[in-house]
């Protein structure tokens, strides 16, 4: 390692969990904690289940075909 140059660095929270790292080649990288990963997974599952339910309802209504149901059809303005 050259003097005053960082080859790799880890940033940890108060519990010792790595929350970020830095390397000259990759720059900064954020690292999710296990709690953040679990919450993200929970939201992803909720989104997929909701999307599939909405798609099924639209298909049942028979006013659109399965191929025409897209994510752009969901009103997110609420």
Which residue has better confidence, 21 or 69?
Answer: 21
Instruction: Report the share of the chain in percent with pLDDT over 70.
Output: 73
pLDDT tens-place string over residues 31-57: 998 889 999 999 999 999 999 999 888
Tokens 């960082």 found at = 6
Taking the alpha carbons at both ends of the chain, their separation in whole angstroms is 54
**pTM here?**
0.50
Q: What is the dihedral of CA 47, 50, 53, 55, to 10 degrees?
A: -60
What does the block give as tokens for 76?
């997110």
Give yes or no for a contact between 24 and 7, defined as CB atoms under 8 angstroms apart: yes
Structure token digits, residue 37: 């990963």
Measure CA 40 to chain center.
6
- Under the banding of pLDDT at 50, 70 and 90, the label for residue 72 is low
């Amino acid at each position: 390692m050259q003097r005053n140059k960082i080859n790799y660095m880890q940033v940890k929270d108060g519990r010792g969990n790595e929350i970020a790292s830095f390397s000259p080649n990759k720059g900064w990288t954020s690292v999710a904690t296990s709690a953040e990963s679990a919450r993200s997974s929970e939201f992803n599952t909720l989104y997929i289940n909701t999307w599939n339910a909405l798609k099924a309802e639209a298909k049942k209504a028979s006013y659109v075909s399965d191929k025409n149901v897209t994510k752009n059809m969901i009103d997110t303005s609420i």
